[in-house]
Amino acid sequence: MANIIVVTNQKGGVGKTTTCAALAGIFVSRGKRVLAIDMDPQGNLSFSLGAEDTGYTIHDVMTGECSIGDSIKSTHICDVITSNILLSGSELELTSEHREFILKDTLNTVRNIYDYIIIDTPPALSILTINAYTAANDLIIPMTPEILSLQGLAQLRETILAVKKYYNRRLNIRGILLTKYVSRLALSKDVEEMVGIVADQLHTKVLDVKISVSAAVAEAPAHQEVITKYSPRCKAAKDYIRLAESLYPEIVEKVPEQNS
């Protein structure tokens, strides 16, 4: 049964897509079966993972135009369900009484096929975001150590708590992930302390692993490759490996015991 991981923040440019792609690549490198779902109408995760912009998309799945199986595309990284700009109209199109559960109900038909399902969400608190939260087991919240990034966390907190109350009591907020982190800057430390207050309100924590700022992070999507493959020696790639192993220790390769 797949663990469904949602990466979310209503603010753009905080590393949601990079985090999704990195986790997908790391899980696959450890022999895990991965499905990545792009819930952002901009389609950045689809492009980053090398998925073709043809055929059925998550929009078609959400509106009942196709089955989820028909929408899955295989890439050199992992299986992907792509997105496109049509998804931006979902707020008006999805009007059924149980519209918050569309994604969850759909994913139940493929959860036994994968070990991990990773969902990239749009930079907005919409019906798409709520569907992702309702379907999720784990929630990871990336944010940059900047004052403006703090402003959106309050509204995000209210949405998460509402979903936990009404739609998904088992939603597990794994933590707030600081990205584009520069340890020598005083601002990074100051923001980290303030983020800790919000984390306490969400009954979660600021994750110990921080993702270092790196030019390779911005370059990797242009090559349709994940950061751990594009530049495996850069600090950000090593940070993402540490993140994956700390949150999901089951992927850590076991060293066989030697007989004495």
pLDDT tens column, 222-233: 999 999 999 999
Q: Give the pairing type, strands 172-178 and 138-143.
A: parallel
Rounded to an integer, what is the distance from CA 193 to the centroid of its chain? 24
CA angle at residue 154 from 121 to 194, to 5 degrees?
110
- The residue type at 260: S
Taking alpha carbons only, the member of 168, 231, 195 closest to residue 4 is 168
Domain ranges of the chain: 3-247
pTM of the model: 0.94
Distance of CA 23 to the CA centre of its chain: 8
Q: Which residue type, as a one-letter code, is found at position 75?
A: T
- pLDDT score, position 256: 53
Handedness of CA 125, 86, 140, 215 (dihedral sign): negative
CA dist 119 and 45 (Å) reads 9
Q: Are 17 and 48 in contact (CB under 8 A)?
A: yes
Backbone angle region of 13, left / alpha / beta, with phi > 0 → left and psi within -120 to 50 → alpha: left
Please state which architecture CATH assigns to domain 3-247: 3-Layer(aba) Sandwich (3.40)
Residues 104-142: tens digit of each pLDDT? 999 999 999 999 999 999 988 889 999 999 999 999 999
| Spatial separation of the C-alpha atoms in residues 39 and 253, rounded to whole Å | 31
Task: Look up residue 252 and give its DSSP letter.
Answer: S
* pLDDT beyond 60 at 259: no
pLDDT tens track for 6-61: 999 988 889 999 999 999 999 999 999 999 999 999 999 999 999 988 999 999 99
